[in-house]
Structure 1
Amino acid sequence: MSAKLIFSDIDGTLINDDLQVMPKTRDAIRQQIIKGNIFIPASARLPKGIMTAVGQILGVCPMIAYNGALALDETGRALITRFFDAKKAAEICRYVDKQQNGSAWNIYSGYVWYCAQEKSSLIKHEEEIVNVKATPAKIDQIEKLQGVHKALIMGKPQELDRMQKELTEKFPDLSFVRSSKTLLEVVLKGVSKASAVKILAQEYKVPLENCIAFGDNYNDEEMLEEVGQPFLMGNAPDELKEKFGAGHVTLDNNHDGIAQVLAKIE
């Protein structure tokens, strides 16, 4: 097996349940970089949140943020930046507030993460995970942003199921994808980790069949389909494991699943 570009989701994939990159995985990735291969995190996180995790391995790297709405090279130059209209983002925020079901909205524009002025426990928990502080804002302020890379709705699984259906009908030009049972990601339709992977492969002049990707959830599915060497973590949903087959499933994120695969790369 060989690879030139190594793409990896972060939460549930690169890091364990304690939010750490395990030493064996860290060393396996560093060895691949020494060999000349390029490691590219691909996450729903904002750039600062990506480096909270990846900074445990190396200081700088290319990255795919916001599920593909933003991609940067190792110098910080934007390779992809796809916004949706801030007025639509504000509408989503007002919709979430009207539900009064404990859900929380988040808006990401550039390097800034915005949330409601009164931070819910869901927001505070996310801040602890990504080690980044959200900026409290009024919805009227959200409406005046130049554009929005991503919105994120946090809430109970059943409530998100219902809201996902309603919002998909209300905003046909946006994509609503679950990154976990309690997280609903919102980006411009056509934006995905897969589309970003394709652009970065072209940027680095590497055929997609020579790219490897790791993921653990539904927002990774298209990315895994795009590359020649896809691998699901052992903690991925059974439905995805069945789709990709046992030969494309590695150990879970708490047992160095990435390192197990990278050990086979020549």
Structure 2
Amino acid sequence: MTPHLIVTDLDRTLLNADHGLDDITIDTFQTLERQGHSLAIASGRHYQDIREVRRQLGVNAHIISANGAHLHGPDDQLIHEILVPQDIVRALLKMEVSEEVRINLYTSDRWLIDAPEPKLLAFHESTGFTYNVVNMSDVDGHQVGKVLFIGDPVLLKGIETHIRAHFEERTHVTYSLENSLEVMEREASKGQMLHRLAAQLDIPISHTVAFGDNLNDTDMLQNAGRAFAMGNAHPQLLTRAPNAELIKSHTEAGVAVKLRELFAL
């Protein structure tokens, strides 16, 4: 079979309800790699976080992290990155934000947060990756791939409106969950990195397969040769990416089930 590039999101897509990997998922990806297909994980998570999931999968996958801010190879070498301009990071950190909203920065090597948030630790328990609590006024805004606001969706909507009003032409603003507002540099996206990686691997975009569940997966699904939205996907995802086919949910190992069907495993 012609080699394909298979790219998948993690949370609520590849990972199950316990934020882990089902046995059928691990077996499917290892089989596809043995057959000569290229694999990639594309997530809003930090690179260090995704790397542990890749280890658990047991495959040599590329990693697209922070919603397309960074692209790493299977050998952990940085291939490309698109950082948020320092002046924008500083401006975002100076915004008046409710104390109920947690401000996070994903730098090249760390996850910074403005105050402890136990629920986030539970979310990342399966990988062991954790945050560093810092005083954001001491942060210079250097080497930031993503600014992340976590909180009530109503509060986030106000923040989103402010950011779009002041930085619309210089930022890519999206959601990975309804309580997670993510801000990257304008050109940083999963779809953009999908194109870059396919070109590097000399794989036609028509031979790319992508899976996602939320709004930050939109342009990746729009651009992939075959696109699949999880049964648990955000209601607007299929509207924004009408080319995507709806499949089983992440609680039913939907990615693995569809891949086994596509590649006759």
TM-score, normalised on structure 1? 0.91
C-alpha distance in 2 between matches for 1:217 and 1:165:
20
The one-letter code sitting in structure 2 at the alignment partner of 1:265 is: F
Cα pair distance change 1:165/1:114, threshold 3 Å: same
2:19 is equivalent to residue 22 of structure 1: no
Counterpart among 114, 138, 151 of residue 155 in structure 1: 151
- 1:16-65 deviation line (CA, Å, top 9, x unaligned): 11011111121111111110101100011111111232222115421101
Q: Which amino acid aligns with 1:100?
A: S
1:93-152 C-alpha deviation (Å, 9 max, x unpaired): 231xx3324001001111211111x31345445553653121122223322x53311111
Q: Structure 2 matches for 1:248-259, cutoff 5 A?
A: 248-259=245-256
Deviation at 1:84, TM superposition (A): 1.8
Please name the residue that 1:175 is paired with: 172
Partner letter of residue 97 of structure 2? Answer: Q
Task: Note closer, same or farther for the CA distance 1:151–1:84 as it changes in structure 2 (3 Å cut).
Answer: same
Matches within 5 A, 1:213-232: 213-232=210-229
Q: Distance in 2 between matches of 1:113 and 1:259?
A: 30
Task: Kindly state the Cα deviation for residue 85 of structure 1 after the two structures are TM-superposed.
Answer: 2.4
Once the two structures are superposed, residues 206-262 of structure 1 have per-residue CA deviations (whole angstroms, 9 ceiling, x without a partner) of: 000000000001110100111111011110023323555697111000101111211
TM-score, scaled relative to structure 2:
0.91
Partner of 1:54: 54
Match of 1:107 among 87, 105, 118: 105
Amino acid at match of 2:135: K
User: What is the distance in 2 between the residues matched to 1:174 and 1:253?
Assistant: 30
Matches within 5 A, 1:3-18: 4-18=4-18
Q: Give the direction of change, closer, same or farther, for the CA distance of 1:13–1:127 in structure 2 (3 Å limit).
A: closer
- The answer as to whether partners of 2:3 and 2:36 remain within 8 angstroms in 1 is no
Distance 1:137 1:243 in 2: 37
Partner residue in 1 for 2:45: 45
**Any idea what SS the aligned residue of 2:39 has?**
strand
Match of 2:65 in 1: 65
Change (3 A) 1:247 1:204: closer
The 3 A distance-change label for structure 1 pair 151 and 136 is same
Q: In structure 2, do the counterparts of structure 1 residues 245 and 188 end up closer, same or farther at CA, with 3 Å as the change threshold? A: closer
SS of 2:232's partner is coil
SS of structure 2 residue aligned to 1:170: helix
The one-letter amino acid paired with 2:149 is I
Q: Distance in 2 between matches of 1:211 and 1:246?
A: 13
Select between 124-133 and 19-28 the one with higher mean Cα deviation: 124-133
Unaligned runs of 5+ in 2: none
1:114-193 map, 5 Å: 114-116=112-114, 118-121=115-118, 123-128=120-125, 131-143=128-140, 145-172=141-168, 173-193=170-190
Q: Distance in 2 between matches of 1:63 and 1:125?
A: 22
CA distance in 2, matches of 1:136, 1:235: 32
Greater shift after overlay, 57-66 or 223-232? 57-66
CA shift in 2, pair 1:125/1:158, >3 Å: farther
Identity of aligned residues (%): 23
Matches of 1:84 and 1:242, distance apart in 2: 28
Q: Between Structure 1 and Structure 2, how many residues are aligned?
A: 262
Unaligned runs of 5+ in 1: none
- CA pair 195-245 structure 1, distance change in 2 beyond 3 A: closer
CA distance in 2, matches of 1:192, 1:62: 15
